[in-house]
Amino acid sequence: MASEHRHVIRHDWTMQEIAALFEMPFNDLLAKAHGVHRLFFDPNTIEAASLLSIKTGGCPEDCAYCPQSVHYDTGVERGGLLDGEQVLDQARRAAEAGAQRFCMGAAWRRPRDRDIEAVAAFLPPIKALGLETCLTLGMLTPGQAQRLAEAGLDFYNHNLDTSPEFYQEIISTRTYEDRLQTLAAVREAGIRICCGGIIGMGEGVTDRVSLLQQLAALDPHPESVPINQLVQVPGTPLFGADKVEPLSFVRMIAVARILMPRSVVRIAAGRAQMDESTQALCFFAGANSVFLGECLLTTPNPEQDADQQLLARLGLRLTPQLAPEQGRGAAA
């Protein structure tokens, strides 16, 4: 798009500038975000991803939102790593449902090298289906990131979760710098980055501003930016937190779109709790990716038929899949 080349991509947004975007009249903010969105994307196309837990529960981290932590009694049963055929079967189902990207999550703090080898073996057959691949396995060393790149991994998800200032209220077992170091290792290996955060954990608007400033300061910006709304799970410390007001979530999407124009912005966790009007506003504000499937790791997601009906009513179509045997390599 010709106009794209006249739009300046910035990594130096100030807190004051971002706060001013949040304070704009709602209609003005949406108009600005939608205008930016049209410069870089087809506004009627949505990327579909599918998310599978390949190793559930037993995580030693104490993330206050997570039902897979060993610190909380949430009823999530601890399981081992799925085998390759189980994972490939789920990938086939995702491809048949129209997904473009197959994401796999494992409840590890930091995988061992032998875990990396096991997961790396999953990637070639999944990519042969024409699916992009994404992993979220916890912290990585540079060598582990390089090994996943060699296996053909397209994306690595590692969220910042919240602002640096609020982070210690949510997690004590991993530092903010740990997260940034993993992102740096992934980027150095040539793997594209999926990185976003969660709102609804008790943070203030200033924390949301700070989170987006951190994401926008990454150079280049994350190729995928998932914006999650807290899914409250009984047994976790955040169960009973104040719920996110729907228009506040739309504002988060809109500001993310303005700050990171080339990034795919995903409505991630919490979409099952959103009505269709809220989702439609998010799409107008610049969200152009969703997860398909009825479960996100261990929390609910809208049913596939409901998603298809909503997209059809809005005139939205899914991004075409890659041809089988044509999965992309690690570098963008």
Q: What is the band of 327 on the pLDDT scale with cuts at 50, 70, 90? A: very low
pLDDT of amino acid 301: 53
Q: Which of 12, 15, 60, 10 has its CA nearest to residue 165?
A: 15
Question: CA-CA-CA-CA torsion for 119, 124, 128, 134, nearest 10 degrees?
Answer: 40
Chain segment 251-267, per-residue pLDDT in tens: 999 999 999 999 999 99
| Mean pLDDT computed over 170-183 | 95
Phi, psi for 253 (deg, rounded to 5): -60, -45
Chain segment 71-119, per-residue pLDDT in tens: 998 888 888 999 999 999 999 999 988 899 999 999 999 999 999 999 9
End-to-end CA distance of the chain: 19
Residues with catalytic roles? 59, 63, 66, 103, 134, 194, 266
pLDDT of amino acid 299: 53
| Mean pLDDT computed over 144-167 | 97
The domains of the chain are located at 10-318
pTM of the model as a whole? 0.91
pLDDT of amino acid 134: 97
Chain segment 12-69, per-residue pLDDT in tens: 999 999 999 999 999 999 999 999 999 999 999 999 999 999 999 889 999 999 999 9
pLDDT of amino acid 298: 54
Instruction: Report the C-alpha gap between 19 and 255 in whole angstroms.
Output: 9
**Residue 4 above 60 pLDDT?**
no
Length of the chain: 332
In which element (H, E) is residue 126 found?
A: helix 123-127
DSSP state of 253: H
Tell me: domain 10-318, CATH 3.50.50.60, correct?
A: no
**Residue 141 above 70 pLDDT?**
yes
pLDDT of amino acid 97: 85
* Cα dihedral sign, 259-203-218-109: negative
Chain segment 222-281, per-residue pLDDT in tens: 999 999 999 999 999 999 999 999 999 999 999 999 999 999 999 998 888 899 999 999
